[in-house]
Copies of this chain bind each other. A is one copy, B any other.
Amino acid sequence: MAIAVVGSLGLDTIETPAGRVEEVLGGSAAYFSLAARHFLPVRIVAVVGSDFPASARAALEQEGLDLTELEVKEGRTFRWEGVYSRDMNTRETIRTELNVFETFRPDLSASTRALRHVFLANIDPVLQRQVLSQLTRPHLVLADTMNYWITTKRDELLKTLAKVRILLINEEEARQLTGEAVTHKAARAILTMGPETVVVKMGEHGAFLQGRNAYFVCPAFPIETVIDPTGAGDTFAGGFMGALARMGRVTDMNLRRATIYGCVLASFAVEEFSVGGLLNLKRAEVLRRAAAVLSMTRVTLDDTARLLR
């Protein structure tokens, strides 16, 4: 019943209005797994260099993550550096060093190939498909992507999307992928590309879920002091997929519940630099925020129909 996540582990240098940190633990697989672990065991399929700090590895192990499929390769670990704007809604990438990630070609072990729940984090769509082709009985395959792949490897990405059950994507990327200027139209257009459901992440506005007959909107849990938005989308994916895989059946209500957990986990990620907000996170805190998100949209219109003249 474990979830496999194929993505990056890296060392991030991040500058936000709240401060600057250097060479801290990052990467899509780190954020995803630290969120999904609340629901099911998570196995990380990734590569790091020989310089990957023992402390970073220990942090992941301490949270119970399965690193048996983590490759350690001679060389330098993936590195990323970014600077956020004052309102943190945009960021500039200062540098991306692929390093050992450049030649990453996941060759899954027999037990990983048999896993039924797989998250293809934002990596080269060719790699995403190579992983997919190794799975022996995939049930719930979710994927993420980004503008870089939409622009440079669109055809490969479309081939991957054809095999993905649920796509997680942000607003701008959804519009870019489909050429639709209106996000809701973009989401519906993605449903013709393969996925039966698409989850559009809207940052501080939460997320919405579009299925062929389903539509659900989840607001973000309001965070007054955002410290570092890095990894919020991957954390959302971890909360979403963890909850959904644990519930087992992909029903409209379970998709809605999973979206709530995605938003809730993401809210913890942005409260500290790096993965700090996700370490030592207690079950009770997750439940408290999930209840708070529900109360934020609770309303009835029982007796208001007669309000209209």
Residues of A near any B CB (own CB < 8 A): 17, 37-40, 86-88, 175, 181-185, 188, 202, 204-206, 208, 215-219, 222-226, 243, 246-247, 253, 256-257, 259-261, 283, 286-287, 290-291, 294, 296-301, 304-305, 307-309
Contacts and interface: CB of A to CB of B under 8 A. Distances in A.
A309 B40 contact: yes
Contact of A184 (B217, B223, B298): B223
A181 B17 contact: yes
A287 to B, nearest CB: 6
A202 B220 CA distance: 13
Contacts of A259: 299
A257 B299 contact: yes
Given A88-B181, A291-B301, A305-B287, A219 B208 contact: yes
Contact of A205 (B39, B202, B225, B301): B202
A253 to B, nearest CB: 7
Nearest to A184: B222
Nearest to A87: B181
Contacts of A291: 301
A244 to B, nearest CB: 10
B307 A253 contact: no
Contacts of A181: 17, 86-88
Contacts of A297: 216-218, 297, 299
Task: Kindly report how many copies of this chain are found in the complex they form together.
Answer: 2
A265 to B, nearest CB: 11
A182 B87 contact: yes
A207 to B, nearest CB: 11
A217 B296 contact: yes
19 contacts: A37-B309, A87-B181, A87-B182, A88-B181, A182-B204, A183-B204, A184-B222, A216-B296, A217-B296, A217-B297, A218-B297, A243-B307, A253-B300, A257-B299, A283-B309, A286-B308, A290-B304, A294-B300, A297-B297
A175 B39 contact: no
B217 A307 contact: no
Contact of A215 (B222, B257, B286): B222
Given A86-B181, A243-B304, 20 more contacts: A87-B175, A183-B204, A184-B224, A185-B224, A188-B224, A215-B296, A216-B296, A216-B299, A217-B219, A218-B297, A243-B307, A253-B300, A256-B298, A259-B299, A261-B304, A286-B308, A287-B308, A291-B301, A294-B300, A297-B297
Contacts of A204: 182-184
Contacts of A39: 307-309
Nearest to A187: B222
A297 to B, nearest CB: 4
